[in-house]
Amino acid sequence: MNLPKNLLLHEFDSSAGLAAALAGEVSHQLERAIQRSRKATLAVSGGRTPAAFLKRLSQAELDWTRVTVTLVDERWVDPQDERSNERLVKQNLLVGRAGFAHFVPLYHKGITAFEAETEVAGAIDKLPKPFDVVVLGLGTDGHTASWFPDATELAAATDPLTSKPVSVISTASGGEPRMTLTLPIVQASRFLALQMEGDEKRQTFDRALLDGKADELPIRHVLQNRKTDINIFWAP
């Protein structure tokens, strides 16, 4: 399949090769940001796929004191929960020298996601824009971030004109509510990467390149609205 010119496909033979290459590129982009403005902002995704990439990135020789890390999305669960993206990032990325980075969580304990939305939005609003690096994942149902096809708030989260940096997401399929970055924050990032592994996700991505409704495969919201490069990192 011929890719649009702004989609740059990087294919690897193994997950380890992908993790090393993606970590190297993200490190390079963060270093450029630090040289440009003396600070850098990185938003990463959760799930099982990113762990190896995050571990490699934690070894980068950056001035991590100048890096702010946040999440693309978060399940509304305690950070001690094994499904927490905050837990994933703290265990795999924010260790060693990378432990000096500043972390902005999306989860707030003791209140509901809906009660926390304004507070979380305020914290994200304070970060420099555009984000220097955003790394997305992809689900086999076509979701990225927490933009699930059956999400009640999908239209609000993927509205290219929304001024809200985050949105609460509730779905029948996703269990507990989630907090997610909105489309404008993602698509405005200076460097945007999509990490995916496995043939099933590659097939989902290929389907998303075909004509169809964006809400059916929400990754299309990114593919259709991003005007500059999207770097696709894939391994079988």
Asked if residue 3 belongs to a domain, the reply is no
Per DSSP, the residues of 57-101 read: HTT--S-GGGEEEEESEEESS-TTSTT-HHHHHHHHTSSGGGGGS
Please give the residue range of the domain that contains residue 110: 21-235
Question: pLDDT digits over 185-213, tens only?
Answer: 999 999 999 999 999 999 999 999 999 99
Residue 9 lies in a domain: no
Has residue 5 been placed in a domain?
Answer: no
Query: What is the value of pTM for the model shown?
Result: 0.97
Whether 82 maps to a domain, the answer reads yes
| Number of domains observed in the structure of the chain | 1
The reported pLDDT for the residue numbered 173 is 77
In this structure, is residue 16 part of a structural domain? no
* Residues facing residue 194 across a β-bridge: 136, 232
> What's the CATH code of the domain at 70?
3.40.50.1360
Is the pLDDT score of 2 beyond 80?
no
Range scoring the smallest mean pLDDT among 1-15, 80-94, 156-170: 1-15
Is the per-residue pLDDT at 229 higher than 90?
Answer: yes
Look at residue 127 in the predicted model and tell me its pLDDT: 98
The answer to whether position 213 is within a domain reads yes
